Structure 1
């Protein structure tokens, strides 16, 4: 299930982590060799990533031709559907997108226009959540948080 609204990324993460947002979606097909490029599409290059504990990775990708960022949360070991999410937020423009539900392999893709903007992004698999704020801002240092709920 996809969503787009102008709420701040921290509110989105809080809602996801507290379990107040529940969505049931058709499971993504299990694809043991899924890559961020397969999820986001051609022209996207991985520019950052964050481990979701030992369960998988959230990938931030960028397409220089379109100026769009894409995020995808990919499990290390696809299998039985479990609660997963991926989200991205541009602070300057308040544009955001995300995907959450019960998935067998990955959550996403989620897209925003990010050229020339810092982005906040993250996701979760099961009870392990990761959040990256102030990302890809040139010389500014990003902030990463990983926690288990």
Structure 2
């Protein structure tokens, strides 16, 4: 009986250690450990987003206390640096901001005052570009274009 109890104890400990190792290991396709709020600021709430193919997502956020929008592009799988961008433009005021460069996880933040204005925004990762125009304008319908170059 003692042998069986020892075998069961050893088996349970082995299963527990394998389970712990599996729980601590990150999956191969784990999303980056960032959010639009970590990049733009905790008071910015996500109000819109657009997928950039399977490479990531570009997010439009808004801070109601200061009237500013923020855009950030976040990769699905961070890794080697790639060309990325995040941009925003307010046609009514001709104001805009952008961030463009080689990044491993995200591009941005790009900020602009947009309270009570329609905004155009977008971003890209590698050769996939997303552009959203006429966005967040109440009843007006936004236009989305995704292109591969």
Higher fraction of helix: 2
Corresponding position of 1:38 = 38
Structure 1 unaligned blocks of 5 or more: 1-30
Q: Which runs of 4+ in 1 moved over 3 A?
A: none
C-alpha distance in 2 between matches for 1:55 and 1:33: 15
Q: How high is the TM-score relative to the length of structure 1?
A: 0.79
C-alpha distance in 2 between matches for 1:114 and 1:43: 15
Q: CA deviation at 1:131?
A: 0.1
Matching of residues 65-80 of structure 1 within 5 Å: 65-80=65-80
Higher relative contact order (CA 8 A, sep 6+): 1
C-alpha distance in 1 between matches for 2:86 and 2:64: 21
C-alpha distance in 2 between matches for 1:33 and 1:134: 30
Question: Over aligned residues, Cα RMSD in angstroms?
Answer: 0.9
Size of the aligned set, in residue pairs, is: 119
Instruction: Tell whether 2:91 aligns with 1:114.
Output: no
Larger Rg: 2
Q: How high is the TM-score relative to the length of structure 2?
A: 0.79
Q: CA deviation at 1:128?
A: 0.2
